[in-house]
Amino acid sequence: MPRYAMVIDLQRCVGCGACSIACRNENNVPEGIYWSNKITETVGTFPNVRYHYIPTLCNHCEYAPCVRGCPTKAMHKLDNGITMHNPNKCIGCKYCEFNCPYGVIYFNWETPHKFWRDKKAEIQGGTASPQEVVKDVGAKSVPYYNPEREATYAGIRPKGVVEKCTFCDHRVKKGMLPRCVEACPADARVFGDISDPKSDVSVLLGKFRSFRLREQIGTNPHVFYIRDFNPAAYQPTKGGV
């Protein structure tokens, strides 16, 4: 059985956000919820400043606090290491979200994609209402609805349950890459079986020193970061005194 992991090359990542947009389309992610997200920070004092950009997603931890804490096993581990969620079993206690050290689980506070249920047109007699648009394209709930998501998970998760990244398990099952990996224009994301020493992820982790988010808390995350982008240069000195 493979053990899936992702390597994100921060030297290649340009921070374009294509991963997040692709993820939203693939997984019918509602407004306000981010399966694929980022951590940005600006450090230093002007004019000597730097901007850091770290793409984030569910870390599919080996010792996942969300899985340990879920009272109904709605959040569970698959044999391939993916941390999966079953909305039918989810009681909406939000403990997984409370417990997640990485802030990657979200709760559906209200009916998802509410905007597209609106019957009112922006310009009366001029534009179609959001609901008419959905009806005209023959979609379910949202005009860009992806029915393939339904293969392993609710196409749209209902109000009152949590949701998060599943490493696109429905695509992985068919031998495809997660959508964020496929959509990355800079090939900054590499996905594969970390238990196979010949896989691309294993090769990269052997070649480059990696880090993971909040490693010290012992969750053993399976999203690794390598390298960093830094175009800066400085004059060599003898200590700079």
Concatenated DSSP letters of 89-156: T--S--HHHHH-TT---EE--S-TTGGGG----SSTTTS--HHHHHHHTT-SSSTT--GGGGGTS-SS
Question: Between 97 and 193, whose beta carbon lies closer to other proteins?
Answer: 97
Contacting residue, 51, 71, 115, 144, with other proteins by CB under 8 A: 71
Our CA dihedral for 153, 114, 116, 180, rounded to 10 degrees, sits at -40
For residue 15, the minimal CB distance to other proteins (Å) is 12
Stretch that binds other proteins, among 84-92, 128-136, 187-195, 200-208 (CB under 8 A): 84-92
CB 54 to other proteins: min, Å = 8
Kindly identify the residues of this chain, within the stretch 89-118, that bind other proteins according to CB under 8 A.
Answer: 89-95, 97-104, 106-111
Compare residues 89 and 176 and give the one whose CB is closer to other proteins: 89
- Peptide bond just before 47 cis, omega within 30 deg: yes
Which residue lies nearer to other proteins by CB, 110 or 136?
110
- Measured from the Cβ of residue 47, the count of other Cβ atoms closer than 10 Å reads 5
Q: Contact residues for other proteins (CB under 8 A)?
A: 32, 34, 37-40, 56, 65, 68-74, 88-95, 97-104, 106-111, 158-161, 213-214, 217-219
